[in-house]
Amino acid sequence: MPRSYTDESDFIIVGAGSAGSAMANRLSEDGANSVLVLEYGGSDFGPFIQMPAALSYPMNMRTYDWGYWSEPEPHLGGRSLACPRGKVIGGSSSINGMVYVRGHACDYDTWEEMGAKGWGYRDVLPYFKRLENSHGGQEGWRGNDGPLHVSRGKQKNPLYSAFIEAGRQAGYPVTEDYNGAQQEGFGAMEMTIWKGRRWSAANAYLKPVRARANLEMRTRTMVRRILFDGKRAVGVEVDRGGRIERYHARRAVIMAASSINSPKILMLSGIGPAAQLREQGIEVVADRPGVGENLQDHLELYLQMECLQPITLYKHLNLISKGMIGLRWLLFKNGLGATNHFESAAFVRSKAGVKYPDIQYHFLPVAIRYDGKAPAKAHGFQAHVGPMRSPSRGWVRLRSGDHRDAPRIQFNYMSSPQDWEDFRTSIRMTREIFSQPAFAPYVGREITPGVAVQEDAALDDFIREAVESAYHPCGTCRMGAADDVNAVVDPECRVIGVEGLYVADSSIFPRITNGNLNGPSIMVGEKASDHILDREPLPSANQEPWINPNWQTSQR
């Protein structure tokens, strides 16, 4: 019978998401430490989460999503953009698009240059291998016995191969594995799906070990603040169904509550920009001006084309087809319900002089919004495209000192001229890809933005109206050198200025990585576990990733 965790445990993890689930598994692995995981959301049971093709539903359900929105964005005509974050076991890995991207090797070398010593590519590659169970990845570059199954779609629809072939015809490389030696190029998309089910961090890391006597999880538990004895974190105070409870940690409190909620809880607890905290009547424990700053995200838009052949998913958007797809999935875990439908991808460079890819593509054989709304009334297909390394930076700040109030979120999207240039380039590159011979049997009229939208000013108007978040917020508790005044955690993931407190999730990214953030977030949980347990890190890798030898003089 598990003991009461209202007394003490060795580690308290706040958040059962991508990084939190990984840490819950690793910190409780040897049985020597008691671990308590606190999650405000509830169960991930049910087809809306577990069925891959139903991905548009959970991120639009308040049951599973915190429902955050940005403040009106000044460079997007005052639009507020959705910022979904998982409020459920598995966190955002239970409501995301299930796309698996490690990020580029140069991303992590840049982290190290920014002060995250020991987080270069040679250091993180062994942790990616440890977390992966790769099905179809490049031999020698991928893990084969980790908890996270990474698979590829069957690519039955001919439009998937047409996209890859069109990239080749346009002069881009084709890569066998963008998570292997060579990210740059066109190729198959990888997904966290296994045997027809969403393979979230909860399915990979938490559920297999829920029976451990030294691991306890409490759901429907909202953390109000971290408790301190002087400068040492000793536990957390929570709101559990309106009842205030306190849980104490002998060794450490670990924040893994997302790039939105981790800085929020730190600030509610007195760690953050001192002047802002005092405005809210919060006693300052540690003046860390970087808490909540450095917010980054990926933006994307869709280029939609009419398809001349009736081979797209459009024919399945009616209730009868959806019902049949759902029934087949429930009975057999296969068919169109068992994929996220993102089965082709590309990472390319926008211009000569860019060392590694700065544009990402997701290809989809239907013309439809990511949230499942407003499908085009015709057979069509689309490419999601967006720049990877925007210089724009935003922030997360407290709305009040009440833990129940959503924080204020300002991404400051499109605040740099480079953002506009990169998006215009992305649109023109996409049009060129769709004009290749591989698409000739399929491509009809351009649905959006439409052929009339050509000049820079017209493209900018379309971008301002059409651009959407790719849902990759990060960076708000930046990792850096211990003497960096704007860093929040050191390279061991320890919060600077206090003791017994760690942050390990996407909020510690010094700079956003290429592609989707679920894989890098799990990697952070894996690597942070070794730091927290004071274990020797895994031995560094010496594999050299591929960089286009002509990057200085050629765009492709």
Binding residues for FAD: 88, 96-99, 223
> Cα–Cα distance between 140 and 129 in angstroms, integer?
9
The question of whether 472 is a catalytic residue gets the answer yes
Of residues 18, 13, 40, the one with CA closest to residue 201:
18
Q: Looking at the DSSP assignment, which residues form a beta bridge with residue 304?
A: 382, 448
Q: Please, are residues 450 and 465 in contact by the beta-carbon 8 Å criterion?
A: no
Could you give the angle at the alpha carbon of 510 between the alpha carbons of 508 and 514, nearest 5°? 105
> Cα–Cα distance between 490 and 540 in angstroms, integer?
19
Query: Are β-strands 395-397 and 408-410 bridged in parallel, bridged antiparallel, or unpaired?
Result: antiparallel
Of residues 47, 7, 505, the one with CA closest to residue 256:
505
- Which residue of the set 149, 362, 379, 472 is catalytic? 472
Q: Please, are residues 238 and 253 in contact by the beta-carbon 8 Å criterion?
A: no
Of residues 334, 388, 324, 403, the one with CA closest to residue 357:
388
Residues 6+ away with beta carbon under 8 Å from 56: 370, 371, 372, 373
- The CA distances from residue 233 to 10, 40, 249, 489, in Å, are 12, 20, 8, 14
**Would you give the DSSP letter of residue 438?**
G
In the block, residue with structure tokens 């970087």 = 290
Q: Please, are residues 480 and 115 in contact by the beta-carbon 8 Å criterion?
A: yes
Q: What is the DSSP string of 318-376?
A: SHHHHHHHHHHHHHHS-GGGG--S--EEEEE-SSTT--S--EEEEEESS---TTS-S--
> Cα–Cα distance between 37 and 217 in angstroms, integer?
5
Residues 6+ away with beta carbon under 8 Å from 482: 490, 496
Expressed in angstroms, the distance from the first to the final Cα of the chain is: 61
Helices 417-434 and 158-169: angle between axes, nearest 10 degrees:
110
> Cα–Cα distance between 544 and 295 in angstroms, integer?
30
Q: Looking at the DSSP assignment, which residues form a beta bridge with residue 306?
A: 380
Q: Please, are residues 36 and 3 in contact by the beta-carbon 8 Å criterion?
A: no
Of residues 360, 383, 372, 371, the one with CA closest to residue 447:
383
> Cα–Cα distance between 451 and 434 in angstroms, integer?
13
> Cα–Cα distance between 123 and 523 in angstroms, integer?
11
Binding-site annotation, residues: 88, 96-99, 223
- The CA distances from residue 412 to 83, 393, 418, in Å, are 13, 6, 14
Catalytically active residues are 472
